[in-house]
Amino acid sequence: MDAFREAIRSERLAAGTRLPPSRVLAADLGVGRSTVVRVYSELINEGWLTALHGSGTEVSRRSAELTTKRARPRVPASRPRLVHDLRPGYPDLSSFPRDEWVRAVKRTVSNAPFEAFGYLDPQGRSELREAVARYLARARGLQAHADNVVVCSGAAEGLRLVAAVLAKAGVTKVAIEEFCLHTQRPALLKAGLEPVLLPVDADGAELAALDEIPDVGAVVLTPSHQFPLGVALQSDRRAAAVDWARRRGTLIIEDDYDGEFRYDRSPVGALQGLDHDRVVYLGTASKSLAPGLRVGWLVVPDRLVGPIVEEKGWAEESVGFVNQLAMADFIESGAYDRHIRAMRTQYRRRLQQLVETIGRECPTTRVTGMSAGLHVLLEQPGRSGAELVRRAAREQLAVEPLALFRNPGSASDRDGVAVGFAAPSASGWSGALDALVRALR
């Protein structure tokens, strides 16, 4: 609740900003839906949020007045409207292939068997599991079979399921990277697992630390493109991770959140391809297509299929059969590959423009992160990430501070902002880039 208030006060959530549905936010944060509903209700009562009948919840238009009264009682406040979104992890939604998706929906709904309209198998439709297995084997180098695929609503749900199964199996500690997606740690804590931190350097997570930590039963890694620092796990460390899992009888949880987008070479194969019995693979269409589809998948070892499906359960919210069948058709028809190739070209061009423009206009700014994914890390001497976020807000631009992704207990003093380059539409990209340059000057 305090985080919401602070986000509104600091203008990261501007008046009128639409908030995610309680069910979606609960899944992303790994908390119960009732918790999100309670927080929304209390913030509505306090005047920070407004409930829109039939349309969800948004930041109240009165929030600027509340912030002015509580934080700066004698100074009139003007709150800039954020019009450019360069937060990391968001794809260009304006490029969603509507026509091909509609055709896939029509084909699959017209031809779907009657039983598809009934209660769903918690493991997911066989058509999608087969399509995903074939795609991942071809595009990401996985050892995948449909029987090992579990359909889920995204990486957050996938991690929640795996964490719950690990806890029931007696695991007490799970290693995570010292910088990571800010939903990972809460998901582990909710399952009753203790997160322990791995330092990250230019070669990825420092895996030697695993042998120094007793009782670690699993490790969560982003080996193809570390989030948010943007480095790849080097080959010797990839081999070391698999060797550790084999020696200790432990598990690697591989979050391959944007593995398709590598611009300077062919994408690095998934870690799961080295040992399908010791790696759980998390994948999603959120970055490649759109997060609103809520389509993701797990590829798990044989021994974990039953426990994960049981944990997911018949009562668990599942991806609707229409999206499952449409996604299967989208993959099998080749439309998914065509879309990824088109977006890879577009994002490569944007990344090149961003690097060249900042190098020319803001030469003291350090741009890091390999030529992959949907974001870079920007660091400026003498300016904190929080200051850069404030400067960006004055230019009506949203970026995210690196501190948002630093786990408690990290010894790293790195600071800066994570800047996405994918979210703006084609027509909005140049304006967003100009606003970023003004913020950095």
pLDDT tens digits along 315-370? 456 789 999 999 999 999 999 999 999 999 999 999 999 999 999 999 999 999 98
Give the pLDDT of residue 103: 96
Give the pLDDT of residue 233: 95
Give the pLDDT of residue 162: 97
Give the pLDDT of residue 374: 95
- Tens of pLDDT, residues 226-277: 999 999 999 999 999 999 999 999 999 999 999 899 998 888 899 999 999 9
**Does the pLDDT of residue 439 top 80, yes or no?**
yes
Phi-psi region of 59 (alpha: psi -120 to 50; beta: other; left: phi over 0): beta
Give the pLDDT of residue 325: 96
**Does the pLDDT of residue 121 top 70, yes or no?**
yes
Site of tokens 């590829």: 299
Bridge partners, 201 (sequence order): 204
Look up residue 422 and give its DSSP letter: S
- Look up residue 186 and give its amino acid: P
The answer to whether the Cα torsion of 190, 191, 196, 197 is positive or negative is negative
Q: What average pLDDT is seen over the chain?
A: 89
Bridge partners, 194 (sequence order): 173
User: In angstroms, how far apart are the furthest CA atoms of the chain?
Assistant: 66
Q: Phi and psi (nearest 5°) for 347?
A: -70, -35
Q: How confident is the model at residue 53 (pLDDT cuts 50, 70, 90)?
A: low
**What architecture (CATH level 2) is domain 98-334?**
3-Layer(aba) Sandwich (3.40)
Give the pLDDT of residue 67: 53
Q: Could you tell me which residue, 78 or 131, shows the higher pLDDT?
A: 131
Strands 56-59 and 173-177: unpaired
* End-to-end Cα separation, the chain, in angstroms: 34
Give the pLDDT of residue 39: 80
Give the ranges where 152-234 is alpha helix by DSSP (H): 155-168, 184-190
Q: Does domain 1-79 sit in CATH 1.10.10.10?
A: yes
Q: Could you tell me which residue, 119 or 231, shows the higher pLDDT?
A: 231
∠ at Cα 434 (431, 438), nearest 5°? 140
Distance of CA 288 to the CA centre of its chain: 11
**Does the pLDDT of residue 72 top 50, yes or no?**
no
Of 49-58, 88-97, 196-205, 365-374, the poorest mean pLDDT is in 49-58
Residue 133 to residues 53, 73, 297, 305: CA-CA distances in angstroms? 41, 59, 10, 14
Q: How confident is the model at residue 74 (pLDDT cuts 50, 70, 90)?
A: very low
Give the pLDDT of residue 73: 43
Q: pTM of the predicted model, to two decimals?
A: 0.80
**Does the pLDDT of residue 314 top 90, yes or no?**
no
Would you kindly state where each structural domain of the chain is located, as residue ranges? 1-79, 98-334
Q: In what order do the strands lie in the sheet with 49-52?
A: 18-19, 56-59, 49-52
Average pLDDT over residues 176-200: 95
Residue 49 to residues 60, 149, 256, 295: CA-CA distances in angstroms? 4, 39, 34, 29
